[in-house]
Every structure is written in C-alpha cells, then in structure tokens.
Amino acid sequence: MTETCFDATEIDVGFHPDGYRIDKTASPMNRYTKWEILAGNRWAHPTPVCFHSLPEKGWIKKDKFDWSKDSMENVG
C-alpha cells in the first residue's frame, strides 16, 4: 500500500520518514520535533525544532500520536 504524501503546510498531525513530526494538538515544545530513529523503527529522543527547519514535502498524516510513551514504535 502506498501512502499519500503531503506538504508540511497541510499537516496538523503527521510524520516525515526522516524522523520529523508535526503535532499541532500537542504542547508547544512537542509541536514540531526531530526524532532519532532507532533499530526496529523505534522513535526516541525528540528535540523541538522550528517549523522552517522541517522538510517541505513527503509528510504522512496521522490521527494522533501517543505522547505518553518515552520512545514510540512504528509510527506508520
């Protein structure tokens, strides 16, 4: 199955395969983040980034992220 990709400006909640996330429903420090992708497709160690540092294209929309986990698995 091929996922439809979007521009960053079209995303309210979503991720980019290079380890970026947008979550406009999250707290200000978690809105735009860069993550380290570990073995087994685990996402860990989020770092806040500004919107202008995000990739412009190639985003995948999500319904929500579970921010209660320290590291998250398989966001796709």
Report the distance separating Cα 76 and Cα 73, nearest Å.
9
Higher-pLDDT residue of 70, 43: 43
Question: How would residue 71 be classed by pLDDT, with cut points 50, 70 and 90?
Answer: very low
Predicted TM-score (pTM) of the model is: 0.82
Convert 15-39 to b/e letters by CB count within 10 Å (16 or more is b): bbeebbbbbeebeeebbbbbbeeee
DSSP tag of 56: S
Kindly report the number of other CB atoms within 10 A of residue 1's CB atom. 2
pLDDT of 1 strictly over 50: no
Q: Alpha-carbon distance 61 to 11, whole Å?
A: 6
